[in-house]
Chain A
């Protein structure tokens, strides 16, 4: 009944407005102007929307155009070799790839338990007032510029790593992984927290009602229900970690050394991103070195793409097997 009355009130002025244009000749002209505006806005939005896609395609094409020659100019055994000495025409990217992989995996290994535990705490355990404080604080963390974190890493974390772990230098893969873990934490926490938040309250009730403790309900019912969201969180965090440049360049020592020995974690490494950033400024345009750096960019892109693909397939699989839900 209430709804019907409100409709009446809404329709009253509209009916008057409709009557007016018909009674005067001006009404039709106005209508056409209106159509013109509509046409412009609609197409402007369309152009803007497509141009965003267009730019992404162009960037991708540029990357391919500049990077693909690498794979013809440099023999593949050398390109995937173990020695990166551009001055001697040795473009072995393996130390860089493994460097990135090592730093990323260790970073995620640190950030994953911390991030998921924090998300569970913020969403499931913390009282309301604490949640109100914690959430904005975590989101602020994401806004710290990476160069600031890099500076913090150089002056505080690196000496600490050197002194505590007794490494010859504090600029190690581990230092980079620590910083990257810290940088991917806000992403992991907020996405995982959203995923937990999306789990219906009735799941918690259902868990409790069958005699589970609060902890059992969280860990065995709520977290599995949020599984796909948590996996997305991890993948996004990984994407952030593998693509991060500045902080990593500042604290990993940048020695293009194969991280294959047992102590590699506590020795300097060089990542793909740091290599591109450090060398691109000094390279002759069109030289082999120039193209190889773009080639490294392609490898990096393929790696990130595979991570995203893996994430998508996990989520897709879940959805397909989930039947109706």
Chain B
């Protein structure tokens, strides 16, 4: 790659229950020596069987694992060449630059409008015009605007599951992050909603760097510009999506894609 990667993981390892003396639980090595570059303005698909460390990887990129006790992290995570675990990095600032959407659509309590603008309000934005513009822009980007433009002051929980998930995407987009992490964003959605979300991802990648854990291999193949296959915490194969999904170099990647194990 000629361009500088947006995110670069350098020999990253991550262990849960590393200090098992206190909890008595077995240490779980979720990521083992992962080195991976994620290019900007493209969709990178992280896929593999469950327990492979995909979610752990996403949560490392916006430091959500900080809150867990008893974990051990090795290696470096660089965002635009800067170590995000360095002492002078503001976690809050980082999370505003690296948005995340979870597998369950979880609107925060409150109205549709509140859900989208809340992140900005937290960041100290008080100007109503700016908030309104961000509301319209991010709902449009998440392909939700037409469906909710007359329901902005309804409780967010009154939306359908698919709408709630796109609302969660809009919520992340409102902060204009550089990077959008999506952890199985369509796992609870019907095929039509899934298609809408995938379609909006295609639009979004023009402006954002997207890292997605798909909920199926097929979805991964549909959206991938780049792809990385994880098995038991190890990075098996990474490369352009077309190559990984159509002509994998690693035998186990091929076995997984063709459904020989899962």
Contact = CB atoms under 8 A, between A and B. Distances in A.
B106 A203 contact: yes
A211 B108 contact: no
Contact of A211 (B102, B109, B122, B160): B122
A238 B100 CA distance: 41
Interface stretch (A70-78, A105-113, A221-229): A221-229
B110 A210 contact: no
B109 A208 contact: no
Interface string B64-97: 1001010000000000000000000000110110
B38 interface: no
A325 B157 contact: yes
Contacts of B108: 203, 206-207, 220-221, 224-225
* Residue with the highest number of chain B CB atoms closer than 10 Å, among A209, A212, A213, A216: A209
B92 A206 contact: no
Given A200-B106, A221-B108, A209 B158 contact: no
A287 interface: no
Interface residues of A, number: 27
Interface string B144-181: 00000000000101111100000010011001000000
Contact of B109 (A204, A216, A227): A227
Nearest to A213: B92
B62 A209 contact: yes
A216 to B, nearest CB: 6
Interface string A298-325: 0000000000000000000000011111
Contacts, number: 78
Contacts of A220: 108, 118, 122
B136 interface: no
A211 B123 contact: yes
B159 A211 contact: no
A38 interface: no
B58 to A, nearest CB: 10
B49 interface: no
A205 B161 contact: no
A211 B119 contact: yes
Given A203-B108, A224-B109, A209 B157 contact: no
A36 to B, nearest CB: 49
A128 interface: yes
Given A227-B109, A321-B155, A324-B157, A208 B102 contact: no
A30 interface: no
A206 B181 CA distance: 12
Contact of B95 (A202, A211, A321, A323): A211
A210 B122 contact: yes
Size category of the B interface is: 20 to 34
Contacts of A224: 108-110
B109 A210 contact: no
Interface string A25-69: 000000000000000000000000000000000000000000000
Interface in A188-238: 200, 202-214, 216, 220-221, 224-225, 227
A323 B111 CA distance: 12
Contacts of B119: 210-212
A204 B102 CA distance: 11
A39 B176 CA distance: 67
A211 B158 contact: no
B3 to A, nearest CB: 26
A70 to B, nearest CB: 46
Nearest to A129: B22
Nearest to B92: A211
Nearest to A221: B108
B104 A202 contact: yes
3 A-B pairs closest in CB distance: A323-B158, A211-B96, A210-B119
Interface of B: 62, 64, 67, 69, 92-93, 95-96, 99-100, 102, 104, 106, 108-110, 118-119, 122-123, 155, 157-161, 168, 171-172, 175
30 contacts: A200-B104, A200-B106, A202-B106, A204-B67, A205-B100, A206-B102, A206-B108, A206-B168, A209-B95, A209-B102, A210-B95, A210-B122, A210-B175, A211-B93, A211-B95, A211-B96, A211-B123, A212-B92, A220-B108, A221-B109, A224-B108, A225-B109, A321-B155, A321-B157, A322-B157, A323-B155, A323-B158, A324-B157, A324-B158, A325-B157
Given A203-B106, A206-B168, A210-B171, 15 more contacts: A202-B102, A206-B102, A207-B108, A210-B96, A210-B122, A211-B122, A212-B122, A220-B122, A224-B108, A224-B110, A227-B109, A322-B155, A323-B159, A324-B158, A325-B157
